Structure 1
Amino acid sequence: MSRYTFPILDIPEIVLTLHKCDFAMANEVNIRRPTSEYIITLYKQIIESYMGLSADHLLTLGVNANKESVTNDNNDEHNVLNVLVLNKICFKFFLNIGVTDFNIMDLYKPDHLRVQRLLSAVVNFARFRVEKMEDCTDIIEKSGVLLDELTSTFHKFNYLQNIKNQYVIKSHPSNELDNVSPFVDSINNEEELKRLDSENAALEIELKKLTAVQEQLKNNYDNYKRTKNDLFTGLESVNFKYIELESEKKKLEKFTNANIVDINRKIDDVKSQIKIYDEKLISLQEKQNNVKVAVTSLQHIIEELYDIIRLLSTDLEQKNRDEQDLLNFQKQLKLRNEKLEVLLKSNISYKLKLLNNQLEAQNEKLLDLKKQHDRETLENDSTITNLKRKYNEETLKEFKEGEKNIQENLINIELKNIELEIEEMQNNYKIEINEIENQYSLLVTHINNYMEKMLNKMQI
């Protein structure tokens, strides 16, 4: 956050406002690149305009008061005193408008950022004065009205005082006149009072004339200030031009004092150097043209290489896609294998359930047979043994053989076929990869040979 209570303005806005305030020497170039002389002159004008003080006038008063001590001083000491007085006045002025860090370096070695900040404070103060001037105008008008009323009241009071004094003179004996004021002694009758009123009126007329003359003098002084500023600006521009002409003169003096023979010799040397540089330039241009041709050929080669690499990348991408398809197909086969296993397991469980149901039915039959156990024990035993033997030898054997046939005939055959297909595809893929790698290595060798030939040609 800024430690100043006023905004930092742009330099064009500062210059425009200072011109409106009759500071004609303000310009953007000198503010962006301030010099000590310019800043001291500008600050003197600002101080003289807003504070009514002049550092030169104050220093002149000090010299007149102490002539003996100053007569021996030189111009440098006088300038130092002038800058010190101006620094003191500027410090008080800028402190009053919100800048607390003004120092003597702002006069000796001004920085454009600090100058911009200080002039922003001056512009802010000038705008504040203009804003508050309307209120001051109203106060001045009211003060004038009150002053007129006070003047009329004072005249009435003097008139009444004169009447009172006359009454006192008439009412007291002559031996008491010593206590009357000298003013009462001087006024003896009404004619004297009228004479004083007429003199007062004449003085008022003279006062009005003096006020008009003072206003005219003020206007003339303002015109004088504007003319002085214009002349000072013109003098400053003439001074700058004079300094530039002096520098140009010094530069030209070097050439006027030089020997013509030396100059001609230097011109010949320069011409010979120019010829050498022209020859070098021509050779460099030829080399540049050769390099351009080589670069264009290399660019064509690089483009062809890019095309080849692009084709290879597309082939590799196709092979990768084929490999990915094979992997997906293998995954699908695994899923199918798992599904078949689940299906077989589900068929076996279904057959087991059927067998369990058959066993339950047989058990029921056995229960029925047990009822007849007493009558047909021998027959039932033989029948049961026959049934068990038949079941163990025929039914279970058929079931196991059927299960083995299903597993061997369906699953194994299909898996073998799939594995054979996968092996065949992998072999084909490996063969294609080997062929591509052989072609790629062959292409790389051709490219390297071509590049070596081109480099040899370029070196030649």
Structure 2
Amino acid sequence: MGPKFRYQFPELDLNELMHELDMLGFEVGSNFWDNITSEIASDLYMNCLSIALEIDMEDIRPEELSGQVLLTAIDILSDQGKHHIKSIGNLRFLRYCKILWNMIGIDDFTMNDLYRPTADRIYIFLCGFVNLMRFKEDRWMTYKDEFYQIEEILDKVDKANEQIKQRKHDLANLRLKFNELSDEIQSRRIENQQLQEKMRNLHGEFLQNQQELKRLTQLDNDTQEALKDIEFRITTGNQDIQDLKDQVVQSPERLKNTMEELNRSLESDRRLIEQTSKRHNELQEKLNILRKVEKRLDKAKSFIEQIFQSIKEANNIKQNIKDIEHHIEKDNWTIEQSTEEERLLLQTVEQISLRIQNNQQHYESLIEEAQTLLDQEQQKYVQCQVLLEKQGNEAFTLERQAESLERDISNLRSNHEKTINMLTKQHSYLVEIFYKYRNELIQRLQLFCNYKNYSKIKTSESIFYNKEGRRDNIIMGRFTDENDENNSHLNRGECD
């Protein structure tokens, strides 16, 4: 049978005990056992408490055992409380000593062990303390890695709790900011819808203006065709006049027919000139309309620029909202994951001796999941960058289209102004030709009448318009032969 112990630990011989105490850092001399006082026992217990229980001396407060405290602390005590400083310190110290003796395996600790210590009791106490340190060292060597892992896990738990606290604070701030911006976001959405509706209306007006521009272009082409026809008819009239010059009128009847034909031709030319003038006025009105359209397009351009700016601001607000929602979702996920991680870590701490390997795999999987989430967030960030670049390119394309449209409108306006100026010059030229041929015809008719020796017996008026737009009263007449008054039945003619 093995040796029987009075306590739960074996007693050591004196040399072995002294060696172990020296290894633990206790300065115990050869005369230590001869005279053990209460002060020596108190110092010994304090050193053992700081080593075994890992208690800081500031928590034990040994100065209170003698009734002394710091001046900064004693000022807050009442006069009656100052008398109990030593007793309170002794009570605290006795409680710590009781805990230490129970840990060693000695459950019969009394106040005599502190105030009237004996060598035997101190010897038993030190044997138990040395065995406790041996046991702790053995356990430490066995579970050293696990203890380090537990410390690391606890550090992670503390950091996770700090992150959770910070995330909750950030989440509260984000929610507050989101609530503050919710009204503005709603108003910006409504304003964005209104701006989109205005853009659709402006686009419709722009299409109508394009149709009107096409119609005016076609009208300009028709006018040019009409001018070509007038030039052809003028050429034909010149040829007819040349033919008339070559003809010799032998009879009044032939003269009458010729004059009637000339009157009809002149009347037709007059109507054609009136139509040309009317067409000129219409083109002038169209030019005014184009100028108004140009002004409206300028306003539309500036308004579209404002719309683009508003859309850009709305997109920024949407992006901010998405970022806030993303942060809120991410923070919620982080809080949930952190809470779950904390629960798993606590379970791991409780069952560290049996499940340390599984927990290690679990943390590795958590790290892999975190890395996966980080990669996903980076991909989302790259996608957002690509989307922003695409929107910037679209905005640049729209600006280029607007500039091209402005150049086209400017070119069309310049072409129309040139066309109208050309028509005005051609109209003036036709009027001058008309009056030139009219005067020449009147002169030739007068010469013809003088040549035939006719006399004017009746006059009438024919109204024409001169170059300045005033009425010309042209004297028309019926002519008879002065030598034969009976020839009153001869043909009558009107000319202008």
TM-score > 0.5 by shorter chain: no
Normalising by the residue count of structure 2, what TM-score does the alignment of the two structures yield? 0.28
More helix by share: 1
More strand by share: 2
